[in-house]
Structure 1
Amino acid sequence: MRIVFLMPTYYPDSFGGAERQTRILARSLRDRGAAITILTPTLQAQAAGTDDQPEGRVVRLPMRSDPALGGRYVFSMLHFWFRAFLWLARHRRSYDVIAIQHLRLHAWPGLVAGRLFGKLLSAKLGRGGEHMELRRLPAQKLPFGKLVVSLARRSRLIFVANSSDIAGDLAALGIPADRVARVPNGVECPMEPGAAYRAPDGACVFVYAGRLAQEKRVDRLIEAFRIFAAEHPATLRIFGSGPEKNRLIEQAAGLSSVRFMGVTDDRDAIYGGAAFMILPSDSEGMSNTLLEAMAYGAVPVITDVSGVGDLVVPGQSGVMLADNTRDAILEGLVTAGGLDAAQWAAMSAEARQRVCEKHAINVVAEAYLRLYREMADDRLNRAPPARGRDIGSAEAGVPAPVGQ
């Protein structure tokens, strides 16, 4: 199987969940004999070009501005459309599948190339709820978002939903069940849990890992932690970068319990010794941070956004925030910090078991390969795809054959 992942951004331009998920999936697929190419824009001239990485061949097309934003960057978007389509056309005999990661404006060349060249075509949705791409793109002032959504709806594209919430959102938007495949995000599970109930100094360690952007509500987390840490020995480690970074550092000035740790791909450094992972986002798809933290045994403290219900059972495998206001986050911190050692250990073990049994990256990679083989069989036989069921879903320990 020869697969092109079409990305809105990739390393070294961004270090978010989509990039992390694509990297570990591509490596696992490559280990199973798949030929992988990652096609992406880059804003860094020194990164432009083609190079071989452990996850496969990475082709970075140089751009002046982010082509997935559109708006005032419309010329960069059109430039990427042209360059990416030209690459897909020139190399059309070297790949079988175009796998679009997140259905944003960067998707247009993949949708058109898939249709013109008869390639298998899938698109993985990034988020659910009101933030889902199929809802947000048509609302843009310029017509390009509507164009992308129209092409996606009219193509033989298979929508990949990584959570039951996203699958439900697709159904509500009128996407037929036979065009939806449930494949969860995957995670590399360490051999042993790295989380700890308390740090050597007795402090309870909370970790936030992700983009420092407004929708993540890290500002509210800092304010809640300011109150919490005044009465409890606790530390908040914040990993990541983003547009809110400088403002958040200024907000936390003088607060010794909050530490900004920068950007790292070292999961041991992020989750080792942590008791809890906290994520008060407005929305998610299926959070990589959530999966990774649970795999390490860090107990999640999280808002009930898309994908969380597939993983977190309140009181068993995590703490669910009532909301992501400052007061609700503070209440979650108090609940988590009030767990005794035995309660925390039981919750940590349950969290790790739920993820490592059902979301291990090898299980997810096999599910994708089966999905693509099934799509190829459907195309060969000119029959409607027999999808609409889970393919290695969060409810199944191993990928279940479609139709069962």
Structure 2
Amino acid sequence: MDICFISNVIYPFITGGAEKRIHEIGTRLADKGHDVTIYGRHYWDGPAETTHEGMTLRAVAPEAELYEDDRRSITEAIDFAVRALPPLRKRLTNDEHDLAIASVFPYFPVLATKLASLGTSTPVVTTWHEVWGEYWEEYLGLLAPGGKITEQLTARTPQHPIAVSGITADNLAAIGPTREHIEVVPNGLDTEQVRTATQPDAGYDIVFAGRLIEHKNVDILLEAFDRIADKHAVTLGIIGDGPERDRLDRKRDSLTHADRVSMLGFLDDYEDVLGHMRAADIFASPSTREGFGITFVEAMAADCTVIAADHPDSAADEVVGDAGFLVDPTVDSLTERLDATLGGERPSANPVERAEQYDWDAVADQAETVYQRAVDGSW
């Protein structure tokens, strides 16, 4: 197959989860002999078209700032979609690619890719990491209706949709394609990289890793930790940064056991995050919004006991299964579970074995099968 991905950001020059998925799947497909091209912004040094790990990177827009006041820039997304449309249209019209795979968020690249494919035989595949729905109210406030309309318009655009989890597929079916038309191909990780990550000189008994935003509920974790620290001589490391950082710093400072909590901020080296997971006994994240939850898989691969929130907007139950514990996203529930786990209670399934099913090799094989079905017309 000759495959093209359309994504304004490209890994490893920008290091988010969606672009890493494209990189991991793309490099493995290239190793299998498929031609892989990524259309994106020019974040790398050198010419606009280059080869990276067996894939062709083709810049169709210059480097740009992605965020405005801790929110993804709408103008950047529109600008990229407008710039990508003409060169992509030219390539697809000339039948240079067998299929085009568009990153859904921030939506506009999907619309541009569909326009570019009109009148051609090139199927458009999309990858949905989340469906925000009512979360737009929290994210955009008065501008939320615009976000909802754009998301719904994107969902109803003719496409071959892939969701990273069953819950994301269900949420997508509620606003767009039928559930039977949506394929599920999860996110993944390199389990060998997790197993060999160097542990830090000073680790923590409990860790959290993620963006410090409201629905991650790190304040609940801080309060629950403070309660169990009366009974257990344990430490907590919070990895990540975000708009909630200042508030959480103040929250940490107010704790009785503040001296046992470290706010580590964003760690530039991904392997440092994995090393902290390997050193910890427990990975705790009471987040109530997880379209997939790759940190749960990373922690399981590191042989951590995962404690996650049981919530209808989170795929934690689907990802973790019996290899971890689910709790109500409350201080009382999390405190009780931390206490039991620190007391020696373990999940019924092996977390390392659970994580193996999400290795990138297995995920790339699933993606290849689905992509081929789109090309063959059997989807």
Same fold (TM over 0.5): yes
Query: Does residue 281 of structure 1 match 2:287?
Result: yes
Partner secondary structure for residue 375 of structure 1: helix
Match of 2:55 in 1: 56
Tell me the equivalent position of 1:362: 361
Q: Distance in 2 between matches of 1:164 and 1:151?
A: 19
TM-score, reference length from structure 2: 0.79
Give the C-alpha shift of residue 160 in structure 1: 0.8
* Aligned: 1:292 with 2:291: no
CA distance in 1, matches of 2:133, 2:340: 29
Map 1:164-183; keep pairs closer than 5 Å. Answer: 164-173=166-175, 175-183=177-185
AA of the residue aligned to 2:320? V
3-state secondary structure, aligned to 1:256: helix
Distance between the aligned counterparts of 1:170 and 1:225, measured in 2? 36
3-state secondary structure, aligned to 2:205:
strand
Asked if residue 320 in structure 1 is aligned to residue 296 in structure 2, the reply is no
For 1:187-226, what aligned pairs fall within 5 Å after superposition?
A: 187-190=189-192, 205-226=205-226
Cα shift at 1:100: 2.2
- How do 1:24-35 and structure 2 match up within 5 A? 24-35=24-35
Shift of 1:82: 1.3
TM-score, normalisation: structure 1: 0.75
Secondary structure at the counterpart of residue 323 of structure 2: coil
Name the SS of the counterpart of 2:156 in structure 1. helix
Aligned to 2:351: 351
Kindly provide the CA deviation profile for residues 82-134 of structure 1, in whole angstroms up to 9, marking residues without a partner as x.
Answer: 1121331244354332222334333321232233543221112122574689x
Distance 1:148 1:8 in 2: 17
Change (3 A) 1:131 1:112: farther
Q: Given that residues 124 and 159 in structure 1 are in contact (C-alpha distance below 8 angstroms), is that contact kept between their aligned partners in structure 2?
A: yes
For 1:21 and 1:45, the matched residues in 2 are separated by 18
Alignment of 1:89-168 (within 5 A): 89-92=89-92, 93-107=95-109, 108-128=111-131, 130=133, 146=149, 149-150=152-153, 152-155=155-158, 157-168=159-170
* Number of equivalences: 361
How has the CA–CA distance of structure 1 residues 297 and 377 changed in structure 2, closer, same or farther, with 3 Å as cutoff?
A: same
Cα separation, partners in 2 of 1:79 and 1:145, compared to 1, 3 Å: farther
Distance 2:65 2:117 in 1: 25
Question: Does the aligned pair in 1 maintain the 2:277–2:304 contact within 8 Å?
Answer: yes
SS at match of 2:130: coil
Deviation at 1:46, TM superposition (A): 7.3
Query: Which deviations, in whole Å up to 9, do the C-alpha atoms of 1:20-44 show, x marking residues without a partner?
Result: 33332223222222333333447x7
**Residues 74 and 285 (structure 1 numbering): CA distance in 2 closer, same or farther, change over 3 Å?**
closer
Distance 1:48 1:149 in 2: 37
Change (3 A) 1:211 1:50: farther
Distance 1:228 1:46, change over 3 A: farther
How far 1:153 sits from its partner (Å)? 1.7
Q: Distance in 2 between matches of 1:175 and 1:132?
A: 20
Secondary structure at 2:26 match in 1: helix
Return the letter of the residue paired with 2:365. E
C-alpha distance in structure 2 between counterparts of 1:38 and 1:122, whole Å: 14
1 CA distance for matches of 2:352 and 2:219? Answer: 28
Measured in 1, the distance between the counterparts of 2:226 and 2:147 equals 44
Q: d(CA) in 2 for partners of 1:227 and 1:8? A: 44
Matched residue, 1:7: 7
Q: For 1:124 and 1:33, how far apart are their aligned partners in 2? A: 22
Aligned partners of 1:6 and 1:229: how far apart in 2? 48
**Root-mean-square deviation over aligned CA pairs:** 3.7
Q: Is the 8 A contact 2:204 2:276 kept in 1?
A: no
The aligned residue for residue 311 of structure 1 is 319
Q: CA separation of 1:55/1:205 partners in 2, compared to 1, >3 Å: closer, same or farther?
A: farther
The residue aligned with 1:390 is: none
In 2: Cα distance, 1:14 partner to 1:224 partner: 34
Gaps of 5+ in 2: none
Instruction: Name which of 262, 265, 275 aligns with 1:269.
Output: 275
Structure 1: gaps spanning 5 or more residues: 379-384, 387-404
Contact map agreement 2:152 2:175 (CA 8 A) in 1: no
Corresponding residue for residue 343 of structure 2: 338
SS state at 1:272 partner = helix
- Provide the secondary structure at the position in 2 that maps to 1:302: strand
